[in-house]
């Protein structure tokens, strides 16, 4: 009787040992697979360095965008030298949110210029925010009325572009902190779309300037796009380039090696 019980106990222990060993082997295999998957999705040091460089380029573009959108030096306007009298002349500039006029002394203006300016000369300035964002009233500037619909449209496009830049920056921060490539493709889409929207914003704003100049032909104005527009143009190019770089980094193969294979691979 006791011998039968001891034999059964040894058999059960052996079965349990074999089952545990099998489970351990399965666990080790599954763990190995999980570790392999984790290492394949993780970023290498080279990829992380490339992502940081492209992200720096994108951050410069975002900074230029904020600078350009927040300032009012999108277009500079100037009347002729002798429009009012022989002592003063009037210049102005405006952007998406605010317009400014400045009275300059003709003594400070270079005699080689046919119009008044530039706007950085000392003089009495007066700046007002556009009221059509709050009360819907039109703003009169040099007896002309800015195109309200086009100005509001360009401002909305710029805001949507800033929102996409923020979403792209969040995706890149998540990709670097988590060490995965999953967030690179949505970040590239966000940055490329934001850059395209900036160019579209500049086109719409230029149309609003042309509409503003044609609102009243009795007053002739000399106009030129200023440095805020240059900031947005450079920012758009940087954002599109950064988005393209993120897309290239996210690819599973190197486009350079794909297009131009090495001599050893060709042979």
Q: Over 90: is that where the pLDDT of 140 sits?
A: no
Confidence tier at 124 by pLDDT (50, 70, 90): confident
Mean pLDDT of the chain: 79
Q: Is residue 114 part of a domain?
A: yes
Residues listed for the chain: 267
Q: Is residue 25 part of a domain?
A: no
For residue 170, what are the domain limits? Answer: 46-251
Residues 6+ apart with CB under 8 A from 69: 95, 96, 158, 162, 232
The CA radius of gyration of the chain, in Å to the nearest whole number, is 32
pLDDT value of residue 54: 92
Q: What are phi and psi of 192, to 5 degrees?
A: -65, -45
Q: Is residue 171 part of a domain?
A: yes
| Alpha-carbon gap, residue 68 to 147, rounded angstroms | 20
Contact assessment for residue 62 and residue 43, using Cβ atoms and an 8 Å cutoff: no
Percent of the chain clearing pLDDT 90 (strictly above): 34
Q: Is residue 88 part of a domain?
A: yes
> Widest CA span of the chain, in angstroms?
129
Percent of the chain clearing pLDDT 70 (strictly above): 76
Average pLDDT rounded to a whole number, residues 27-45 = 50
Higher pLDDT, 38 or 266: 266
| Backbone φ/ψ region at 47: left (φ over 0), alpha (ψ -120 to 50), beta | alpha
pTM of the full predicted structure? 0.76
The beta strands (E) that lie in 44-186 are given as 75-78, 88-94, 98-105, 124-129
Q: Over 90: is that where the pLDDT of 230 sits?
A: yes
Q: Check residue 74 and report its DSSP letter.
A: S
- Partners of 156 in beta bridges: none
Q: What is the pLDDT of residues 173-207, one digit of tens each?
A: 998 888 888 888 999 999 999 999 999 999 999 99
Q: Is residue 22 part of a domain?
A: no
Higher pLDDT, 145 or 71: 71
pLDDT value of residue 30: 46
pLDDT value of residue 254: 58
Q: Is residue 262 part of a domain?
A: no
Confidence tier at 125 by pLDDT (50, 70, 90): confident
Q: What is the pLDDT of residues 54-100, one digit of tens each?
A: 999 999 999 999 999 999 999 988 887 766 667 888 888 899 999 88
pLDDT value of residue 36: 39
CATH number for the domain that contains residue 101: 1.20.140.150
pLDDT value of residue 38: 40
pLDDT value of residue 255: 56
Q: What is the pLDDT of residues 253-265, one digit of tens each?
A: 655 555 555 554 5
Q: Is residue 97 part of a domain?
A: yes
pLDDT value of residue 267: 44
pLDDT value of residue 70: 93
Contact assessment for residue 189 and residue 243, using Cβ atoms and an 8 Å cutoff: yes
Q: Is residue 26 part of a domain?
A: no
Total count of domains within the chain? 1
């Amino acid at each position: 009787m006791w011998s039968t019980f001891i034999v059964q106990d040894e058999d059960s222990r052996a079965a349990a040992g074999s089952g545990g060993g099998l489970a351990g082997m399965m666990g080790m295999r599954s763990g190995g697979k999980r570790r392999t998957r984790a290492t394949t999705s993780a970023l290498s040091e080279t990829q992380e360095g490339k992502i940081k460089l492209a992200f720096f380029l994108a951050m410069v573009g975002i900074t230029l965008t904020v600078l350009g959108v927040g300032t009012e030096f999108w277009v500079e306007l100037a009347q002729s030298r002798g429009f009012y009298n022989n002592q003063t002349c009037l210049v102005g500039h405006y952007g998406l949110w605010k317009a400014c006029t400045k009275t300059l002394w003709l003594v400070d203006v270079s005699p080689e210029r046919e119009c008044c300016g530039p706007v950085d000369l000392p003089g009495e300035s007066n700046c007002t925010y556009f009221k059509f964002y709050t009360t819907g009233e039109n703003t009169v500037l040099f007896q002309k009325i800015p195109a309200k619909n086009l100005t509001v449209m360009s401002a909305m496009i710029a805001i949507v572009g800033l929102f996409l830049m923020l979403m792209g920056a969040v995706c890149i921060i998540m990709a670097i902190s988590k060490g995965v490539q999953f967030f690179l493709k949505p970040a590239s889409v966000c940055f490329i779309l934001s850059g395209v929207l900036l160019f579209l914003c500049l086109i719409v704003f230029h149309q609003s300037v042309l509409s503003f100049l044609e609102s009243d032909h009795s007053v002739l104005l000399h106009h030129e796009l200023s440095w805020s527009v240059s900031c947005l143009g450079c920012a758009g190019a940087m954002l599109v380039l950064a988005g393209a770089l993120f897309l290239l980094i996210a690819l599973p193969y190197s486009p350079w090696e794909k297009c131009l294979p090495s001599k050893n691979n060709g042979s």
